[in-house]
């Protein structure tokens, strides 16, 4: 089943509780945490995640685009995140960090930037619950989808299948009605969508529509 995770980076930050309610039917709420160091933008932190957890029943998928995730990632689990993603480019000890996130009760995920190859991390995959392949350069919403990541999605899917892992494969960046089917056909099954959801007149309907497209494309891939 395809999962759709609306990104609150595209939401109205002054109305986060209402914006969370607006995406009823979403699988997760994607929370982009940026520190203006690892990426050239600054968003929100632990206190906002704590408040958001109290305001919505949708589980939180926290994507940490920050330096020193080894220190900060466990704090986001404690704040209420059900899934925490760290960037391998920023982590000092990714295996230890993934195990700590899991030990605290959340799903552990690792993100790779567009230019970071997936092959060197094949042996780490069993330590993860999800692998995120960025389909734009991290740091800003509303960017154009990078088709050059599609072959990497295919290679990652083959790795996951080769090892028989129950590992979610997430894509983030430029996911829309015009790109989601290509991602699903390549092997992704979790889709972060910001502008495509929160820019729609009916965000909940946009979530449902994207899910239908992704599932139809995945069925074609499996046929």
Question: Which are the catalytic amino acids?
Answer: 32, 172
Q: Where are the beta strands (DSSP E) in the chain?
A: 3-6, 29-34, 60-65, 83-87, 107-112, 130-134, 168-172, 190-193
Instruction: Answer whether 96's CB lies under 8 Å from 151's CB.
Output: no
The DSSP code sequence of 35-88 is BSSSSS-B---HHHHHHHHHH-SSPEEEEEESS-HHHHHHHHHHTT-SEEEEET
Residues 6+ apart with CB under 8 A from 118: 112, 131, 133, 152, 155, 156, 159
């Amino acid at each position: 089943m395809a999962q759709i995770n609306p990104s609150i980076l595209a939401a109205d930050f002054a109305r986060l509780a209402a914006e969370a309610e607006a995406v009823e039917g979403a699988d997760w709420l994607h929370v982009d945490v940026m520190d203006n160091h690892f990426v050239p933008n600054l968003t929100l932190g632990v206190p906002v995640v704590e408040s958001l957890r109290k305001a919505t029943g949708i589980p939180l998928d926290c994507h940490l685009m920050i330096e020193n995730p080894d220190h900060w990632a466990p704090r986001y689990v404690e704040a209420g995140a059900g899934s925490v993603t760290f960037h391998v480019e920023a982590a000092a000890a990714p295996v230890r960090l993934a195990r700590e996130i899991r030990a605290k009760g959340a799903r552990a995920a690792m993100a790779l930037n567009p230019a970071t190859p997936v092959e060197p991390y094949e042996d780490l995959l069993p330590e993860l619950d999800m692998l995120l392949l960025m389909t734009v350069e991290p740091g800003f919403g509303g960017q154009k989808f990078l088709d050059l990541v599609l072959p990497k999605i295919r290679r990652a899917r083959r790795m996951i299948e080769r090892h028989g892992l129950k590992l979610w494969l997430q894509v983030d960046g430029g996911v829309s009605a015009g790109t989601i089917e290509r991602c699903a056909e390549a092997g992704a099954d979790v889709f972060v969508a910001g502008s495509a959801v929160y820019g729609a007149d009916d965000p909940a309907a946009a979530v449902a529509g994207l899910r239908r497209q992704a599932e139809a494309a995945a069925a074609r891939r499996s046929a």
